[in-house]
Homo-oligomer: A and B are copies of this chain.
Amino acid sequence: MAYRTHHCGELRIADQGKEVELSGWVAKNRDFGGLTFIDLRDRYGITQLSFNDTVNPELLNSARGLGREFVIQVKGIVKERESKNKNIPTGEIELEVTELHVLNAAATPPFTIDNDTDGGEELRMQYRYLDIRREPVKNKLILRHQLAQKIRNYLSDAEFIEVETPVLIKSTPEGARDFVVPSRMNQGQFYALPQSPQTFKQLLMVAGMDKYFQIVKCFRDEDLRADRQPEFTQIDCEMSFVERDDVLNVFEGMVKAILKDVKGADLGQFPRITYADAMYHYGNDKPDTRFEMQFNYLKGGRNGDDLVSGQGFGIFDSAPAVIALNIKRGATRTRKEIDKLTDWVKRPQVGAKGLIYCRLGAEGAHKSSVDKFYGQDKLNEWAKFCDAEEGDLIVVISGDLIPAQTQMSALRLKLGEEEGLRDPSIFKPLWVVDFPLLEWDEEHKRYHAMHHPFTSPLAEDMELLKSDLSKVRANAYDMVINGVELGGGSIRIHDKALQSSMFDALGFTSAEAEAQFGFLMNAFKYGAPPHGGIAFGFDRMCALIGGTDSIRDYIAFPKNNMGRDVMIDAPSKVDVDQLNELGLKLK
């Protein structure tokens, strides 16, 4: 007999009376003596099998011996169930089994294969092949597949060509650390694994490919923070003869179509906000705009307001920036709760010196931690300035502008979380544009490209390239949804003269520029079109759309924070012979 005529998620009441065959795993075995029910599971669902004393005592006996996760094959007749299960699509029927084959026995799994398992993360990683049997993990991998399919079809319909770029490429000292691959045939030389296909996609534009994309593995040998993987997947895209808005429109369209399709979410037009405004209003270049809670500058803001100085409170007097946040209906927070918030912002990860608060009561009944310095009138002023009313809670952080912004941003996100304003089923997208072109590296006393050295400055900032590098804005953009940077890109430099100025600004000698980017610069001699592109973090996109924080769940076989695959136990030692062949020695 073939292994099956149907899947375990397929049979319905309309199939009643049919003789069918199923194969799958024993998910549950409920033994009632003369009657045994088995939940048979495969990728597609669960079907209840029934074994009955009166029908076939021998078969019943075999069934009672089946342990969890045994692989079995059964033949039987589809029957209507006595007690129906409305929670599963096959819940109206069961299979009265007439034939049973054990295809494979199974040892007891080290954790339960349930939606809520008893296995800890390390154990589940070690037995990832069992973890994937669990519905939530399996569904995440299926979602990932569906998203990749939809993205490929969307871009393909829009005349993008997927081109596979090489994995064994050339190491460049710039940027993050490369993984390298020793070459046996060219001893003493190494390939590098790509951190992104950036150069190749630009070469494809020089090659006239016009619209390129690739869903592609990239590699970065970084010390791993939580939720960073040494190998990750990008949706990498590039277009020729485009300006910024052409790129934004295409990929806004793509993300809208996908979220509509998968989540039924209607995102509308994505707002566009400058980097400067994002930092000013949210202290963050990837603001979560599912909730408002914008910054109110009691001091140090753009309008020059100062609602705090000269009242004898030295901390505010000396602080360049004093930023307030209004927590609507937050005045119910107890003193203890506010102290906890204060402790939270004072942790080194946030780094604030302290947190000032003001509980807004009725007129004249505000209560603040700085009552000694600020009377009811002043607090009224604050309230008005922050658009706050009775029952709200104002919290204030002060200090140098950028640290205060960053600290307040962290607090804003935490408060949004606590107030339940960060609903994962709501999607709030925006574009952040006009990033700084360069960032100052204090350690090496030089500028680095914030994006990469081929990013074009904004046309209106070209003059600043000669006068004030710190002020030059890039024609670069990030797509942000719910506080997550989904992707980013830029319009590239295609003009040789401008590229030279850029290398100058970055402190490259022409020899250094030649050594590192020579082949790209050489390619640009032969007719480079204006071009620009974007790259999305696909793992992160899956997690965002799937509604969870961790990208790890969306990766079939992830690595841990030490870059190890604990399932296969990699990396591992290699034979000394193999090292000899590569012309290498361990130190």
Contacts and interface: CB of A to CB of B under 8 A. Distances in A.
A252 B200 CA distance: 35
A86 interface: no
B161 A141 contact: yes
Interface string A91-122: 00000000000011111010000000000000
Contacts of A475: none
A486 B526 CA distance: 38
Nearest to A217: B167
Interface in A125-181: 127-133, 138, 141-142, 144-145, 148-149, 152-153, 156, 161-171, 173, 177-181
A144 B241 CA distance: 24
A587 B578 contact: no
Given A191-B571, A206-B129, A219 B167 contact: yes
A375 to B, nearest CB: 57
A208 B494 contact: no
Interface residues of A, number: 122
A132 B207 contact: yes
Contacts of A2: 243, 246
A162 B181 contact: no
Contacts of A144: 163-164
A78 to B, nearest CB: 19
Contacts of A211: 43
A586 interface: yes
Nearest to A585: B585
A359 to B, nearest CB: 49
Contact of A180 (B200, B525, B564, B582): B582
Interface stretch (A288-296, A337-345, A403-411, A555-563): A555-563
Interface string A233-267: 10000000111001000000000000000000000
Contacts of A206: 129-130
Contacts of A230: 168
A494 B527 contact: no
Nearest to A205: B129
A362 interface: no
A519 B156 contact: no
Interface string A32-52: 000000000111100000000
Given A3-B241, A182-B180, A527-B70, A145 B163 contact: yes
A161 B144 CA distance: 9
A382 B104 CA distance: 56
Contacts of A217: 164, 167, 217
Given A167-B219, A185-B223, A570-B170, A526 B69 contact: yes
Contact of A184 (B43, B104, B177): B177
Interface in A528-570: 528-530, 555-557, 559, 562-565, 567-570
A195 B562 CA distance: 24
A6 B105 CA distance: 64
A506 interface: no
Given A153-B153, A571-B190, A69 B165 contact: no
A20 to B, nearest CB: 14
Given A164-B556, A169-B565, A572-B190, A41 B494 contact: no
A210 to B, nearest CB: 4
A156 B161 contact: no
A25 to B, nearest CB: 6
A73 B242 CA distance: 12
B572 A529 contact: no
A132 B180 contact: no
Contacts of A587: 580, 583-585
A131 B529 CA distance: 16
Contact of A165 (B103, B164, B182, B556): B556
A186 interface: yes
A401 to B, nearest CB: 37
A179 B233 CA distance: 21
A425 interface: no
A228 to B, nearest CB: 12
A145 B156 contact: yes
Given A185-B563, A562-B186, A563-B183, A166 B557 contact: yes
A181 B208 contact: no
A177 B574 CA distance: 12
A241 B585 contact: no
A107 B523 CA distance: 10
Interface in A182-232: 182-186, 188-193, 199-200, 203-204, 206-211, 217, 219, 221, 223-224, 230-231
Given A142-B161, A204-B556, A580-B587, 15 more contacts: A3-B243, A25-B527, A43-B208, A71-B528, A104-B494, A131-B207, A153-B153, A168-B559, A169-B570, A171-B574, A177-B184, A189-B572, A203-B557, A584-B585, A585-B586
Interface of A: 2-4, 23, 25, 41-44, 69-71, 73, 103-107, 109, 127-133, 138, 141-142, 144-145, 148-149, 152-153, 156, 161-171, 173, 177-186, 188-193, 199-200, 203-204, 206-211, 217, 219, 221, 223-224, 230-231, 233, 241-243, 246, 494-495, 519, 523, 525-530, 555-557, 559, 562-565, 567-575, 578, 580-587
18 contacts: A23-B529, A42-B241, A70-B527, A133-B207, A145-B156, A152-B152, A165-B557, A168-B230, A169-B568, A169-B570, A170-B572, A171-B570, A171-B574, A179-B191, A180-B582, A185-B223, A217-B217, A585-B587
